[in-house]
Amino acid sequence: MGSKIKLLGMCIWLFYLPSFTFIVVKTQGNESERSATLKGSVVINGRSVIGNIDVDFVCATLDWWPPEKCDYGRCSWGLASLLNLDLNNKILLNAVKAFSPLKLRLGGSLQDKVIYETENDQQQCTPFHADTTQMFGFTQGCFPLKRWDELNNFFEKAGAKIVFGLNALVGRTISGSAVGPWNYTNAESFIRYTVSKNYAIDGWELGNELSGNGVGTSISADQYASDLIALRNIVYNAYEAIDPKPLIIAPGGFFSADWFKEFISKSDTSLDVASHHIYNLGPGVDEHLVEKILNPSYLDGVASTFRDLKNVLESSGTAATTWVGESGGAYNSGHHLVSDAFVYSFWYLDQLGMSAAYDTKTYCRQSLIGGNYGLLNTTNFIPNPDYYSALLWHRLMGRHVLSTTFSGTKKIRAYAHCSKQSKGITILLINLDSSTTVEADVTLSSTKNFLHRKMSDDSKVVKLPLHYATETAREEYHLTPHDGNIHSQIMLLNGKTLTVNSDGDIPSLEPTYVNSSNPIIVAPYSIVFAHIPDAVVKACS
């Protein structure tokens, strides 16, 4: 590859700043083009990394809800529970396999009402039953070991990585808050059975939404820390001859600074991952969900949670990292034709980008299947738009996060990572505007040995470092809704409908190729991933 750029009808300016140098490429159009489009610039500081994510950052959940789980008069869970999901469905298997691997977190509200069958059980293992007098509207339920065997067989075939959420309420007295120590006898038996069967578990998580004020009930930070230490001892004894050991994860609840600070400090070195949940869009019944999703200021609001939790971890001196253990955007199962439609990818991908920038290692979407926010349709398993958004992120966005801003309009959300597929970078641009096309130039910080000079405005051929710009093609993935309807459940990639075939195969996600010297065109209400393999910056080398 050569190091020359032919710039017909273009101008180049090179600016030298004390700490680093930018390359800025601007395209000059005529007046009619300007009136139809808006020009902006993606500014990426490629000199350092601001966050690091797990290689399997994208995660999804599988929940316990029975078919009787209903919200706002709509029963949207069907047969999507860990207890009744059709593990022989070809689309389900292929959808998980496509990630190679997909991290799955098994848990949810009812996990703290699950009792695990043991090999010596003499009693019948009964499922959940609806009971409005009980917490979450259901009785205690039993998890059969045979079903655990079936699930692990599926996970092995699909190549999934598993995090299991344990019942943290066993043995406690619940009167407002949950009082007393955790009775871990049943959980320990289940963990030891899992080890005896050689089932691969990436992490064991204690409890669901019991931190702070809790949901349903709560546990004090002091008691939770004591219980977590007990869990670590159980796991390390059970996995004594096995390395690496599974992660110890908690509390899987909503962030409360004081509660998390005390919990982390008293957990000592027992905590590997501080997990928290996010439902920043409010209830699924809210008729203003789309307005919130398309409002950049509203999207920015949740940044304080990521920032504050990061500060708590840093100030505590813990080695624990942070995960979003569950996030469905709108709680109580989401909202049909919003959380299962194209428009939700604006919120979802923005969440992935924002959380990664605050050093979140894993982000678990509620749910893989079930409710109105499943990545897969609950009835027919067909992928919803967010499935393809998640898969593209997983394949394109590498572990290292780059500082990224966009100038020109607040309606563009911009994120950039070192690429997963090359030594270059991948940029994600989300256009929340309904009528404006954006021409986005890319501005990269250079290395120290960059040649500092300003070219004349009429230069046609300019010698620049090979690392920054060439005539080679970049790969672009343009995501748009069917017929321009953001409530559509059909997503287009580069103008072609994404759909599984008769064998249940996930479609290949092929890019379109664009000259790297051209701006990135972001259509109204669209999403673009741009992989630039030759944009090699210091942070990615």
- pLDDT confidence band for 5 (50 / 70 / 90): very low
Residue 272's closest CA among 225, 236, 316, 320?
A: 320
Lowest mean pLDDT among 49-58, 285-294, 438-447: 438-447
Q: Is beta strand 58-62 parallel, antiparallel or unpaired with respect to 114-116?
A: unpaired
> Integer distance in angstroms from the first to the last C-alpha of the chain?
18
pLDDT score for 28: 33
- pLDDT confidence band for 317 (50 / 70 / 90): very high
| pLDDT > 80? residue 412 | yes
pLDDT in tens, 198-249: 999 999 999 999 999 999 999 999 999 999 999 999 999 999 999 999 999 9
Domains and CATH numbers, the chain: 36-48+410-450+471-532 (2.60.40.1180), 53-399 (3.20.20.80)
**Between residues 291 and 17, the one the model is more confident about:** 291
Residue 387's closest CA among 74, 78, 92?
A: 92
> Going along 73-122, which residue ranges are E strands?
103-106, 114-116
pLDDT score for 310: 98
**Between residues 251 and 453, the one the model is more confident about:** 251
Three-state secondary structure along 380-410? CCCECHHHHHHHHHHHHEEEEEEEEEEECCC
As a whole number of angstroms, the distance between CA 339 and CA 372 comes to 6
pLDDT score for 446: 54
Structure tokens at 117: 């069958």
- CA 228 to chain CA centroid, Å, is 25
pLDDT score for 429: 98
pLDDT score for 123: 82
Using CB atoms within 10 Å of the CB of residue 454, give its burial: 0 to 12 exposed, 13 to 18 middle, 19+ buried: exposed
Active site residues: 209, 326
pLDDT in tens, 19-76: 332 323 333 333 334 447 999 999 999 999 999 999 999 999 999 999 999 999 999 9
**Between residues 317 and 462, the one the model is more confident about:** 317
As a whole number of angstroms, the distance between CA 225 and CA 274 comes to 12
Answer yes or no: are the C-beta atoms of 256 and 272 closer than 8 Å.
Answer: no
- pLDDT confidence band for 365 (50 / 70 / 90): very high
pLDDT score for 111: 98
pTM given for the model:
0.90
CB atoms < 10 A from the CB of 17, how many? 9
Residue 385's closest CA among 341, 425, 423?
A: 341
pLDDT score for 121: 85
Mean pLDDT over 325-337 rounds to 98
Answer yes or no: are the C-beta atoms of 221 and 176 closer than 8 Å.
Answer: no
| pLDDT > 80? residue 8 | no
Nearest-Å Rg of the Cα atoms of the chain is 25
Answer yes or no: are the C-beta atoms of 445 and 47 closer than 8 Å.
Answer: yes
Q: Which residues pair with 473 in a beta bridge?
A: 515
- Tell the residue number behind the tokens 């072609």, with chain if given: 496
CB atoms < 10 A from the CB of 355, how many? 26
Mean pLDDT over 320-325 rounds to 98
Mean pLDDT over 94-117 rounds to 98
Structure tokens at 344: 């939700």
Using DSSP's 3-state secondary structure scheme, residue 13 falls into strand
> Going along 160-202, which residue ranges are E strands?
161-166, 173-175, 177-179
> Going along 68-144, which residue ranges are E strands?
103-106, 114-116, 141-143
Mean pLDDT over 190-194 rounds to 98
Query: For 251, left (φ over 0), alpha (ψ -120 to 50), or beta?
Result: alpha
**Percentages (nearest 5) of helix, strand, coil residues in the chain:** 25, 30, 45
Q: Mean pLDDT of all residues in the chain?
A: 90
Lowest mean pLDDT among 117-121, 148-152, 188-192, 463-467: 463-467
As a whole number of angstroms, the distance between CA 267 and CA 119 comes to 32
Answer yes or no: are the C-beta atoms of 210 and 136 closer than 8 Å.
Answer: no
Structure tokens at 370: 């079930």
| pLDDT > 90? residue 193 | yes
As a whole number of angstroms, the distance between CA 230 and CA 226 comes to 7
pLDDT in tens, 129-181: 999 999 999 999 999 999 999 999 999 999 999 999 999 999 999 999 999 99
